[in-house]
């Protein structure tokens, strides 16, 4: 087997988490274990075939763990592995940049973001001044 050569390290990162769906899957998994059906519901634009393929690739690279429960009907969940959690700061940075970009382009981010667990409106909490 020949050893892979990269021009710069970001190529290695993008080889593992690049593409339209992998970072989205990983962001959802930062909020806890998910079944395939949960992920499909959170990402209505992804096909079942693509979701399965992306999860398998992330599992092959040790980014996610596939947990199979010995029960009927079968139950399978996905979670970030310890190695997968090392991507958290990258995912947070991508989300923050995306939010800034959306605001720059559209003004109100909630006008273009789907409502889901990752896009909750933050409630401002006002407290009485301490006298």
Look at 27 and 113; give whichever has higher pLDDT.
Answer: 27
Structure-block tokens of residue 127: 């407290």
Tell me: the pLDDT tens digits for 17-27?
A: 999 999 999 99
Write down the pLDDT at residue 109. 77
Q: Is the whole-model pTM more than 0.85?
A: no
Q: How confident is the model at residue 107 (pLDDT cuts 50, 70, 90)?
A: confident
Q: Cis omega before residue 131 (within 30°)?
A: no
Q: Cis omega before residue 73 (within 30°)?
A: yes
């Amino acid at each position: 087997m020949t050893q892979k050569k990269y021009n710069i390290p970001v190529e290695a990162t993008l080889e593992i988490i690049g593409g339209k769906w992998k970072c989205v899957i990983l962001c959802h998994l930062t909020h806890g274990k998910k079944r395939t059906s949960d992920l499909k519901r959170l990402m209505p634009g992804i096909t079942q075939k693509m979701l399965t393929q992306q999860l398998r690739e992330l599992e092959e690279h040790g980014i996610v763990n596939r947990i199979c429960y010995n029960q009927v009907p079968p139950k399978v969940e996905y979670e970030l592995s310890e190695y997968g959690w090392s991507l958290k700061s990258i995912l947070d940075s991508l989300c923050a940049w995306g939010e800034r970009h959306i605001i720059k382009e559209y003004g109100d981010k909630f006008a273009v973001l789907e409502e889901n667990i990752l896009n909750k409106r933050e409630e401002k909490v006002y407290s009485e001044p301490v006298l």
